[in-house]
A and B are shown apart, each in its own frame.
Chain A
Amino acid sequence: MIRTLLTALKTHPGVDGWLVTETATASRQAFYVLNKLETRRIQETREYQVTVYHRFAENEKTYLGSSQFAVSRKLPGKECHRMIEEAVHAASFIKNQDFELVEGGTKRRFRQTPPAGDAFELLDGVAHGFIDLSTDHSRFNALELFLTTSTLRTLNSRGVDLTKTLHQLEIEAIPSFDGEKQKVELYRHFVYPSLDWKQIRRDAATALEEVAARNAAGSIGEAKTLPVILRDENVKEFFQTLIEDYSYGSVYRQMTDKKIGDTLQKEPKGDVLTIGMRPACKADAFDRDGVILKPAVIVEKGILKDYYGPNQYACYLGLKPNGIYNTTAVLPGTNPIKTLRKTPHVEIIALSGIQIDMYSGYIGGEVRLALWFDGKETRPVSGFSFSGNIDRCLANLRLSKETVTMDGYSGPRFVALPEMELL
């Protein structure tokens, strides 16, 4: 199919540039309910996204219009030409600023080491890592495993021809605890770039410990104001939300009023932030535009230093594109978590989802499990919400010395936010 597409693109009149992304996915999936196998699935698909560019001039100004279409089945050459023709026609009405597609170099292929063994045997092995931890009271009521190999090839009219093959194990697990008075659960989602059996077992065991704590959790009582410590997945979401407005697209569309050189932390009294972006792994070497990814610093010591994102918008801003990254990387702090936990606080283990609205300055969420230290003892609590102001958080936050690496994030494992309203 790729040959038919490329031939059509190279010969069709009116095509002044093109970008093709081919995605081949091979996935083995297994679903377990109450410790039993419920369904097994295989996915084997190959799909294409095709962007056609058409350059035209009007009133002495040059525009580069584009239109994209998807191909998820074999098309004869004639049908390819019809779709390209429609795309060229649409692009001729799109008066977007002119820009250059990424220039290619040598054809390159990047590969991650695949997991060894039969996929379904591996999945059952992973499942045992969870199921075998079951007790009379606790188990994973639902477990979904996805072992996926994705091969992405990006080609464009300026010679880009890059391929990367990535593997990942994704797990959705529902640790559950049947207590005397109630049944409780938590939601856990893990992504592993390789089969790290030790880490998987540790994560499974921790999930069951946490859900047992949710069963034991009490009320936090009357409304109060306390510092809040976030950890793991919530720390990742916190930092990802913090920098999402600093993409070239957001800046070009004026979604943010921050410019390079502006401070994100007004009069910081806590730790200053250094936030970067980097590829997920060595094989994750380029983005969908064909930009070769190198680690980039977006925020340095609390100051906005650079942007990231698609080539098109970088060109509009007159900048060299950093590219679209998978991973946010944050420099850790100097305080060990022991220090951050010394004074009364609430440490959040599970939220229904952290809510951050950078425009209104809101940060908060509904807490499903937390550990409350009142200065004397620590007890599990649930069924309350926390909220506060993001600017005040940024000026006063403290980062842990301990770090964590997970899908999409690398950096301090804990972030202590200043006093928040707990209700």
Chain B
Amino acid sequence: MIETASRPPSDASAPSTIKLVDADVHAVVPSTEALFPYLSGHWREHVQATMFKGPVENSYPRFAPTTWRPGTETSGSAPAGSDLGALQRDVLDADGVDVAILCCTYQIDSLHNPDAAVAFSQATNDWLVAEWLDRDPRLRAGIVVPIQLPELAAREIDRVGGHPGFVQVALPARTTFPLGNRIHAPIWEAIARNHLVGAIHFGGAPGTPPTPSGWSSYYFEEYVGMAHVVQSQVVSLITEGVFDLHPDVRVAVLESGFTWIGPFLWRFDKEWRNLRRLVPWVRRAPSEYVRDHLRFTIQPLDAPASDAHFLEAIDQIGSDNVLMYASDYPHRHVSSPARLLDLVTPGLAERIRSGNARDLYGLH
């Protein structure tokens, strides 16, 4: 169904023409009907004839334009982020983006019926290829997978992973088991086999609670708390030895903040010093794995009022190779990435604008 093509050979020595990479923009499935061309007759009829409409839940509040960037909610009933033309106009052209990485958070993980989960992830990936990747050469995307079914997720990665537009696999922050758990081994093997990046994104619908103390009342809590969920995922990936098994695998963490990274790593390193014997395959301090294997997008900034404190938080990460520019279009944020880019050294600003993403995704 999808032609496989090898990625263009990398030539790191030539100066890159890619000056700005937006590592987190959203492609939203506007309606179940939009996937009809990519669904079998069985599922089309099922959706048309019954109450089942596919994964209609969303990591962002439904019908809540407060989380959308002003101006994105214009296209009638279609949700923000579902229109390629608007993305081209508002982000790619407006910001001068050379490459943008699409993240589709369609909640395949909410479908407990395994056959529906597979059918809808296949349809979503085929839709991403036909209606986004094939229509603008500046776009790349993450493969949508049924994370709850690791063997089938791996099969889907193998099915479409050769398409040059797919550069990563979209993994929800909220899962039934942490992403490093051995239950997810087939996914990491497929990511490594296909030379892709694992991309942990905001949200997820595993049906288990979003905090260790159960379900919260407000979206506000879930939004803030996603950083803590992601922290647990980072702990899992490193503790379980995902990067020891797959030394070439890298993980992008999207839309979950970064000002917490330094102090989070102090604690993680400390516990490893105490408890190394339990996980002897972890041979270096966790912070070193983070600097070598993990990348974080910068929106939301979650910045303090004080520039000095903001710079300290960035410095505490301990590497210039960790942060990547992102708009998180079409979501609304309080601070512009410009605040960060203007504050850091020009060298670091260049790494954030494009250098780190170029290296991560092999963009040249």
Chains A and B are bound partners: no
